[in-house]
Chain A
Amino acid sequence: SYEVTQPLSVSVALGQTARITCGGNNIGSKNVHWYQQKPGQAPVLVIFRDINRPSGVPERFSGSNSGNTATLTISRAQRGDEAEYYCQVWDSTTVFGGGTKLTVL
């Protein structure tokens, strides 16, 4: 079965750029979707089909996907961006990454 790998944690200074990766074999050939989950809350879609932002998601959130790595980029990171982030792909079934905890210092 297809597997995707995320770093357990990423730290970023307030106002700087955070990059969260999602690795998988030739993941660039697949569509990757990203969810943000804050403590005690349900996940929220922040990027779909690699690069698209749902309505209401700040422009500071962007995505890319190429080769063996998809990346969620959060520009001008804010304390409110602190959350767990999950990537999701479809490969005959739905696969979630293990999640990355983003800390804004």
Chain B
Amino acid sequence: EVQLVQSGAEVKKPGESLKISCKASGYSITSYWIGWVRQMPGKGLEWMGMIYPGDSKTIYSPSFQGHVTISADDSISTAYLQWSSLKASDTAMYYCARPYYYDGSGQYYFDYWGQGTPVTVSS
């Protein structure tokens, strides 16, 4: 059974750093991309970027490029999303999700999702 299990809730102050995780099981993490999706309070879904743990190739949404870093450790089947200096506007729920590519044109949908990691940034 495919599962994506995320790390727990975080409460941080502005300027602090943070790294949250997403542990995959039930499949080979090196054979699929893992993506991150933000959902701000009361708002919709926003794609942030994704990583291919097999070779660590990453793709970022222009909206998030330079603001977050996506990484992975395939030895423990885990992907990460990190911030070096949090802002109050980073307060949101963050989901990891597995993109399933179905043709050679780069198109995909998210077939499995983690349970979400709530991040609160407040002074």
Q: Which residues of A contact B (CB under 8 A)?
A: 31, 33, 35, 42-45, 48-49, 54, 86, 88, 90, 93-99
Contact of A45 with B109 in the complex, beta carbons under 8 Å: yes
Pick from B61, B62, B107 the residue with the most CB of A within 10 Å: B107
Contact for A86 among B44, B108, B114, CB less than 8 A:
B44
Nearest-neighbour CB distance to chain B for A28, whole angstroms, equals 15
Chain A hits for B102, CB < 8 A: 48-49
Contact of B109 with A86 in the complex, beta carbons under 8 Å: no
**A-B pairs with beta carbons under 8 Å apart, 29 shown:** A31-B109, A33-B109, A33-B110, A35-B110, A42-B113, A42-B114, A42-B115, A43-B45, A43-B95, A43-B113, A44-B113, A45-B109, A45-B110, A48-B102, A48-B109, A48-B111, A49-B109, A86-B44, A86-B45, A88-B109, A88-B110, A90-B107, A93-B62, A94-B47, A95-B47, A96-B45, A96-B46, A96-B47, A98-B44
Nearest-neighbour CB distance to chain B for A33, whole angstroms, equals 4
The closest CB in chain B to the CB of A32 belongs to B109
The closest CB in chain B to the CB of A97 belongs to B44
- Is the CB of B116 closer than 8 A to any CB of chain A? yes
Chain B hits for A44, CB < 8 A: 113
How many residues of B sit at the interface, in one of the four size bands? 20 to 34
- Is the CB of B66 closer than 8 A to any CB of chain A? no
What is the bound-complex CA distance between A33 and B111, given in angstroms? 10
What is the bound-complex CA distance between A96 and B44, given in angstroms? 8
The closest CB in chain A to the CB of B113 belongs to A42
What is the bound-complex CA distance between A45 and B61, given in angstroms? 21
Nearest-neighbour CB distance to chain A for B113, whole angstroms, equals 4
Chain B hits for A93, CB < 8 A: 47, 61-62
What is the bound-complex CA distance between A49 and B114, given in angstroms? 22
Chain B, range 64-123, C-beta contacts under 8 Å to A = 95, 97, 102, 106-111, 113-116
